[in-house]
Structure formats: C-alpha cells, structure tokens
Amino acid sequence: MIRWRIGGLSGRWDRREVVVGTVAAVATVVMAIVALGAGDLTVSPVGVVKALLGTGDPAAELAIREWQAPRVLAALAFGAALALSGAIFQLLTRNPLGSPDIIGFGVGSYTGALVVTLLFSGGYLATAGGALVGGIATAAVVYALAFQQGVGGFRLVICGVAISSMLAAVNYWLILRAELSEAMSAAQWGAGTLETITWQMTTPALCVIAVLMVGVGALSRRHPVFELGPEFGRTLGADSRLSRIGLPVLGVALTAAATAVAGPIAFISLSAPHIARRLVGGGRTPLTVTALLGSLLLIVSDIVAARAFSPRVLPVGVVTVCLGGIYLCYLLYREMRQEQ
C-alpha cells in the first residue's frame, strides 16, 4: 500500500494495482499503435508514430486519420465501457458471472436492430436507435420482473435468462423470414463489428461514454462496501437512493452506448473485471485496471479480427466469443485442479 497525505487530503493506492495498471496502459498504447497501422494500408508502428507526429508519409497519415483512428478510438472506448458495465452488474447481482448480457441487454438490442433493419429497412442511425430502444426496454422489463423489495441477484439472473431465451427465438424467426443479403448484414451486426465505423459514429459515442465514466468515478468508492453484501452496504452508508438508481442506469447506459454503434460484443463485460480482480488480488475490483483491460482486450480482438484470416475479415464479436470460451475453459480447468 502506498499512503499519501497532503494537507487535509489523503488516499492510498495498492502497489500491485499501480503496477498492473501501468503495464496494462502501456500495452494498450502499443496495441493501439499497431492497430492504427493495421488497416487496408499497412503501416509499420514507427510509421504510425511518425504519422501521428505529422512527419510521416502523407498517404499513411490520411489513411490513419480518416479510417483507422475512429475505429481504434471506438475499440478503446467501447472496451472500457463494456468492462465497467460488467463490473457494475457483477456488483449488483453479487455474482462473478453477472454481466449486462445476463439481463438480456445484448439479445434485446439485437431484436431492436433486427426489427428496424428487416421490417422497416432502416438505415444506420435507425438501426442504432432500434438497438438502443430494444436493449433498454429489455433491461427495464427484466429489472421490473426481478424487483421485489429491492433486486436480488438470483432473481435478476433467472428473469434475464428467461427473457433472453424468448427474444433469441424472436431473433431467429426475424432472420429466417428475411432476404438473404439483409439477413447476412443483420447477422454481421448481431455478432458485433467495428469494421464499418466512421468518425460520425465514433464522436457522439465517445462523448457519451466520457460523461458516463465521470459518473462511474463518482460512485466508485462505494464498490468495496457493496462487495461486503447488502447489509453492510446499507449500514456503512454506501447504499443510498443515488447509488440504487445510479448504478443500474450507468451499467445499462455504458453497454448501450457501445452496442448502439458496434452491435452486441460479448465477453468483454464478463471477463475484464474478472481478470482485473485476479491480477490485482486483495478482494477488490479495481475499476481503472478493469477499464484498461477492457480496452486492451477489444483492441487486440479487433486486430485479430481484421488480420488473422486476411483478406477475409471477421466481426470482432466472433473473436471475443472465442477468447471468452477459451478463458472460461481455463477457469473451469483451474478450479477443477484446485478441488482435487
């Protein structure tokens, strides 16, 4: 622990958290530079740095600024947003497997987007709007069903699974009755992709996410207290009206901002808080590290999605799902070995 006091101000930082956070930040910057050069026009990392400093090749500079920069920034911001959203839902459900997907957000936003694109042939903005409405409406329904003198984690998970399964069936039906080309592009969106992102889409999402992160920061000190359970949350004074409303709203809004633009990207919300806890230890969910790991995971996944099977491009959601599967298998394997 590093303790500091300056006048009336004071705080303490966990040494391991500082180290892990720094390493994650450096790794994220490095991978972002790699990603900036991994567009249709391949640029070496040195070339990317030169282009960023304005002393590089003009063609590379243009490609990076206009095509790669919005996509990379979106990956960084969405990764962090999804990760923080996951941390909030794991806290609210008191379940390490809790995530915004648990309350049906991803499936609901997909339903919204499908209805808009397939039934009303809406454009990009309409799709984003439909996803937003679908996701938030689903979350609200699940929350309302689970509500019984406060929201219990277990009820929330069960209601979420029930509603998600029903909506998944609706989604299949919508895709089955659609034209092939429409169904293909809808499925691409449904897997979560950063392929088609432009500045017009990235800028508003970045602004929204920045505001939401300030909110997360303001409520962040309450997290360690909530982790002790609902009773201590209340008797230690962390469970106020502000956090009861604020935390679920922030959790949903963070996922919504990313999903509206990129489609439902799985696994980041679930795994980033989990990995952060494991790396830092000491029984806390370090939010800064969680956000950084979310960014890192998504940017790496996006590089893999764009490059691994080149020239064929995968939706980034497919990569994150695969990584998620591998990670969960590893966790189960470890747990089984510990039990023996």
Partner 1 sequence: MTAISTRLGAADLTLGYGEKAIARNLTVDIPDNRFTVIIGPNACGKSTLLRALSRLLAPTAGSVVLDGKSIEKYSTKEVAKILGLLPQTSIPPEDIRVAELVSRGRYPHQRFLRQWSQADEDAVTAAMEATGVAHLAGERVDRLSGGQRQRVWVALVLAQETPLVLLDEPTTYLDIAFQVELLDLCRRLQREENRTVVAVLHDLNQACRYADHIIAMRGGEVIAAGAPAQVVTADLVADVFGLACRIIADPESNSPLIIPIWQDA
40 versus 339: smaller Cβ distance to partner 1: 339
Instruction: State the greatest distance between any 2 C-alpha atoms of the chain, in Å, as a whole number.
Output: 68
Q: Which two tokens stand for residue 105?
A: 């957000």
- Whose structure tokens read 């090749």? 57
10 Å Cβ neighbour count for 331? 14
- Least Å distance, CB 4 to partner 1, is 8
10 Å Cβ neighbour count for 75? 32
- Least Å distance, CB 222 to partner 1, is 8
Beta bridge partners of 38: 42
80 versus 238: smaller Cβ distance to partner 1: 238
208 versus 216: smaller Cβ distance to partner 1: 216
Residue 210: which of 89, 97, 291 has the closest Cα? 291
CA atoms within 13 Å, Cβ hemisphere of 280: 29
- Least Å distance, CB 86 to partner 1, is 17
107 versus 247: smaller Cβ distance to partner 1: 247
- Least Å distance, CB 90 to partner 1, is 11
288 versus 295: smaller Cβ distance to partner 1: 288
CA 221 – CA 227 distance, rounded (Å): 11
Burial 301-329 (b: 16+ CB within 10 A, else e): bbbbbbeeeeeeebbbbbbbbebbeebee
- Least Å distance, CB 111 to partner 1, is 33
Site for partner 1, rule CB under 8 A: 3, 5, 8-12, 149, 218, 221-222, 224-225, 227-229, 231-232, 234-240, 277, 281-284
- Least Å distance, CB 316 to partner 1, is 30
- Least Å distance, CB 154 to partner 1, is 14
175 versus 331: smaller Cβ distance to partner 1: 331
123 versus 237: smaller Cβ distance to partner 1: 237
Say if residues 100 and 255 touch (Cβ distance below 8 Å).
Answer: yes
45 versus 282: smaller Cβ distance to partner 1: 282
What values do phi and psi take at 11, rounded to 5? Answer: -170, 175
- Least Å distance, CB 14 to partner 1, is 9
CA 270 – CA 132 distance, rounded (Å): 20
- Least Å distance, CB 329 to partner 1, is 20
11-19's contacts with Cβ under 8 Å and 24+ in sequence apart are 14/280, 14/282, 14/284, 14/286, 16/279, 16/280, 16/281, 16/282, 17/280, 17/286, 17/288, 17/289
Cis peptide before 273 (omega within 30 of 0): no
211 versus 236: smaller Cβ distance to partner 1: 236
Say if residues 294 and 80 touch (Cβ distance below 8 Å).
Answer: yes
